[in-house]
Amino acid sequence: MSPEQIKGSKDIDHRSDIFSTAIVLYEMLTGKKLFSGSISEVRSCVLNRVSESSMKLF
């Protein structure tokens, strides 16, 4: 799930699909999960890590 979906944003676009596709591709290529833990831990990780790192790019 993309950070926008977790936040419940109304402005979800194609970038959310790209994010999800990239995670699936990563997991297929490496055989490892990108995020692990309980649902709340994964949501927190996605919101904190992904949101902070993407802000640094722009």
pLDDT tens digits, one per residue of 40-57: 888 888 888 765 555 444
The residue range of the domain holding 19 is 3-57
pLDDT tens digits, one per residue of 5-41: 888 888 888 888 998 899 999 999 999 988 888 988 8
40 vs 26: CA distance, rounded Å: 21
Record the pTM: 0.67
Count of the separate structural domains present in the chain = 1
39 vs 45: CA distance, rounded Å: 10
Cβ(14)–Cβ(5) below 8 Å: no
pLDDT, position 31: 96
